[in-house]
A and B are shown apart, each in its own frame.
Chain A
């Protein structure tokens, strides 16, 4: 095929490009809502929810992952343009992660030695990891699928940002059920679940976001 013939073909293709941002944001939000409702319907919502969402000590369980989800979601969209020069909101996500790790260390140091493992272990590690990952699966799939219409020159990073966004979103949803409020517990295990989804996103991006 000559280049001129290809140009002729391209000019005949009238299918308008899809607008990514509304599909990305709307798709993830809808998928997250469906997954969250399904999982919370099985697990139930914590009985003291009303008190927990206004208590500064526990509200971080929602605010931290929510901020991560927003920053990483914006980063995925920014990176989906080929001429993107980095994604500033990724630095914000990084700062939140550093804050979380710093808090874990701080809590570890200030907690009496014989209480550390007890606090970190809690009583629901498997449920926490499995639930967050389970809630994340559907929105994660939607995120990767809609990002395929984009053109990231860093597919792995784009996928990781999508994983970070949807994993964090799933953690926000799971916090409606989880009543383990020790920062050593939730920062560690929410963080671990989010990291697993993020790493999966990196692999998925390298595979599916190439173009």
Chain B
């Protein structure tokens, strides 16, 4: 087997060539693996924080996928990104001022969520975007509407929606990095 011929590399190549279904499959296959990495390498992180890091990693994988060399296997590249994001998470954690009362309230409220990883970061992340970006992501992600519905609601043409979505995702990543400063 030549390097880069494994399932993940194959799916990423398909994704880069425009196959959205293959790309979604890839991200879905990666998520549990990343969760395992974060749990093993970051045992000090709570479930919420750990899932935040998983999301950071997925976002970075998406935005930085152009830095993968398709002639190489994908996994070492994914692990390099995961490691980078974990290091950042610990750096951020070291500097963060904890507000335990609120944290506890959230933990208690979310005691038995249907998805154990449903963190409170909808508020933390999306609400910090500009209102239009936030509305777009909320429509597409939280409400799960298709791009036609969301485009009509926000008065965006398909092309404009495409640009707006990409920008909103980039800003989401920037907000996370700025948190660390």
A82 touches B51 (CB 8 A): no
Q: What is the CA–CA distance of A210 and B179 in the complex, to the nearest angstrom? A: 12
Q: Which residues of B97-154 have CB atoms within 8 Å of chain A's CB atoms?
A: 115, 117-118, 121-122, 125-126, 137, 140-142, 144, 147
Q: What is the CA–CA distance of A29 and B129 in the complex, to the nearest angstrom? A: 36
B20 touches A12 (CB 8 A): yes
Chain B contacts for A80, CB-based, 8 A: 67
Query: Is there a chain B Cβ closer than 8 Å to A9's Cβ?
Result: yes
A7 touches B162 (CB 8 A): no
Q: Which residues of B25-60 have CB atoms within 8 Å of chain A's CB atoms?
A: 27-28, 31, 51, 54-55, 58-60
B28 touches A2 (CB 8 A): no
Chain B contacts for A15, CB-based, 8 A: 162-163, 165-166
Q: What is the CA–CA distance of A122 and B84 in the complex, to the nearest angstrom? A: 48
Residue of A nearest to B161 (CB): A12
A83 touches B77 (CB 8 A): yes
Residue A10 contacts which of B62, B72, B147 (CB distance < 8 angstroms)?
B62
Query: Is there a chain A Cβ closer than 8 Å to B69's Cβ?
Result: yes
With contacts A8-B24, A83-B77, A153-B84 taken as known, whether A2 is within 8 angstroms of B118 at the C-beta atoms is yes
Q: Which residues of B157-181 have CB atoms within 8 Å of chain A's CB atoms?
A: 162-163, 165-166, 169, 173, 177, 180
With contacts A5-B142, A7-B24 taken as known, whether A151 is within 8 angstroms of B55 at the C-beta atoms is no
Query: Chain A contact residues: over half helix, strand or loop, or mixed?
Result: loop
Q: What is the CA–CA distance of A4 and B54 in the complex, to the nearest angstrom? A: 11
Query: Is there a chain A Cβ closer than 8 Å to B66's Cβ?
Result: yes
Residue B125 contacts which of A1, A82, A149, A211 (CB distance < 8 angstroms)?
A1
- B171 CB to closest chain A CB (Å) equals 13
Query: Is there a chain B Cβ closer than 8 Å to A19's Cβ?
Result: yes
With contacts A7-B27, A12-B165, A149-B66 taken as known, whether A82 is within 8 angstroms of B80 at the C-beta atoms is yes
Chain A contacts for B24, CB-based, 8 A: 7-8, 11
Q: What is the CA–CA distance of A151 and B27 in the complex, to the nearest angstrom? A: 19
A12 touches B66 (CB 8 A): no
Chain B contacts for A19, CB-based, 8 A: 66
Query: Is there a chain A Cβ closer than 8 Å to B23's Cβ?
Result: yes
Residue of A nearest to B138 (CB): A1
Query: Is there a chain B Cβ closer than 8 Å to A6's Cβ?
Result: yes
- B68 CB to closest chain A CB (Å) equals 8
With contacts A6-B59, A11-B23, A151-B81 taken as known, whether A211 is within 8 angstroms of B66 at the C-beta atoms is no
Query: Is there a chain B Cβ closer than 8 Å to A50's Cβ?
Result: no
Q: A2-B115, A83-B77 are in contact. List 11 more A-B contacts (CB 8 A).
A: A3-B55, A4-B28, A5-B142, A7-B58, A9-B137, A80-B67, A82-B64, A82-B80, A83-B79, A151-B81, A211-B177
Which residues of chain B have a CB within 8 Å of any CB of chain A? 16, 18, 20-21, 23-24, 27-28, 31, 51, 54-55, 58-60, 62-69, 72, 76-77, 79-81, 83-84, 115, 117-118, 121-122, 125-126, 137, 140-142, 144, 147, 162-163, 165-166, 169, 173, 177, 180
A-B contact pairs, 26 of them (CB 8 A): A3-B55, A7-B27, A9-B140, A10-B23, A10-B27, A10-B62, A11-B27, A12-B147, A13-B165, A13-B166, A13-B169, A15-B162, A15-B163, A18-B66, A81-B69, A81-B77, A82-B80, A83-B72, A83-B80, A149-B67, A151-B64, A151-B67, A153-B80, A210-B177, A210-B180, A211-B63
Which residues of chain A have a CB within 8 Å of any CB of chain B? 1-20, 80-83, 149-151, 153, 210-211
